[in-house]
Amino acid sequence: MEALNDPAIRTLLAQRLLAHYQHHGRDLPWRHTHDPYRIWLAEIMLQQTGVKSVAPYYQRFLNRFPTLADLAKAPLEAVLSLWQGLGYYRRARHLHAAAQQMMHDHQGTLPDQYDRLLRLPGIGPSTAGAILAIAFGQDHAILDGNVQRVLARLLALEMPPDSTSGKKRLWEVARLLTPTGQAGFYAQAIMDLGAAVCRPRQPDCPVCPWSFWCQANAFGRPEAYPVTKSRVAKPHKYQFNALIIRPDGTLLLLPNDHSELLSGLWHPPGSEFVLSPTPPDPEVVRQWVMQELDLNVALPVMLAPVHHIFTHFRLTVHPMLCLWQSGEMAATTPHRWIDPINDQTTPIATLHRKVLQIISNRQKAPS
């Protein structure tokens, strides 16, 4: 888009966007502060998650961990417990690790230098730019998912934003359009534009302050952008979970220490992922429990399957209800027995909360 080479056009675009934001900007809790800790927390939570989902978590998190020092000294399990339901748990682990690193290397404060921010877990170029622009008033551009969509449509970019050439072009334009001295307001304004106006579906082009210059709008095909790579179908994987229940109603959980996907969370014992959709044989599950856990259970009962979608694959879990008969877990094996219906403190992924909900539904069902 050659018009962006004209400084006057760039200034006009910034002015139009900031005026729109002044009148239509969303009232969000993290926009009432310049505290770098709170802004960093919001930016991490907003990675791959919408505002409506984040807002209640953000406030609960601050109630529990009002300062960076409080977060750093908390056990990881407490952090993961508060994060339950927000998804992408790696963000929580990175948040905790970064807080500890800042206490150790930066006197308990967020660095105000770009390269130092990038060395912290969970902070990439766009997040670093947002923190420096909003919290410290520095002139840095951002390029989160909403901004990518806005700029790809503005340019009618014929390259996927996540391609090397596409990302390079979008960063060039993002930096070019960010107004000197107003980067923080501009960052929030363009994120709002993507979230509320230039939506993935049914963009509200008539109210967009950039509609006159938007090439995708001029072509009458805004939803055709951003261009996407051809998507390969997500593989469908399967596993069983052994829901081992003692006579007192408690359920066995193990820590997830081996899988990066849900590291730090607790889950029912279960098989490795397989590609075969064939449901497990109850006798095979009973033998598996004996061999893996040294526990004797009655012949398992298969419950309704649970379906879940991860970023890179789909998963179907076959819950197998196993009534404990004898045996004890080895004291050296990390484990815990919880109330599967009322426990709300153990950090458990949404997937396994769904599995546990089946037990609750089964007990509440009329006989």
13-57 confidence digits (pLDDT tens): 999 999 999 999 999 999 999 999 999 999 999 998 999 999 999
Q: What is the mean pLDDT of the chain?
A: 93
Average confidence (pLDDT) over 246-265: 85
Q: Is the pLDDT of residue 258 over 70?
A: no
Residue 153 is classified by DSSP as: H
Q: 167-181: per-residue pLDDT in tens?
A: 999 999 999 999 999
Q: What's the confidence (pLDDT) of residue 363?
A: 62
Q: What's the confidence (pLDDT) of residue 364?
A: 58
DSSP assignment string, 155-204:
HT--S-TTSHHHHHHHHHHHHHHSPTT-HHHHHHHHHHIIIIIS-SSS--
Which pLDDT band holds residue 354 (cuts at 50, 70, 90)?
very high
Q: What's the confidence (pLDDT) of residue 344?
A: 85
Q: Is the pLDDT of residue 367 over 50?
A: no
Q: 271-288: per-residue pLDDT in tens?
A: 999 999 999 999 999 999
Alpha-carbon distances, residue 3 vs 165, 191, 264 (angstroms): 20, 22, 50
Q: What residues act catalytically?
A: 43
Q: 66-80: per-residue pLDDT in tens?
A: 999 999 999 999 999
Would you say the CATH fold of 236-364 matches that of 2-224?
no
Instruction: Please check whether residue 39 is in contact with residue 45, taking contact to mean a CB–CB distance below 8 angstroms.
Output: no
How many Å is the maximal CA-CA distance in the chain? Answer: 79
Average confidence (pLDDT) over 135-158: 96
Instruction: Dig out the tokens for 69 from the structure.
Output: 């020092």
Superfamily of domain 2-224: Hypothetical protein; domain 2 (1.10.340.30)
Domain range annotation of the chain: 2-224, 236-364
The yes/no answer on whether domain 236-364 falls in CATH 3.90.79.10 is yes
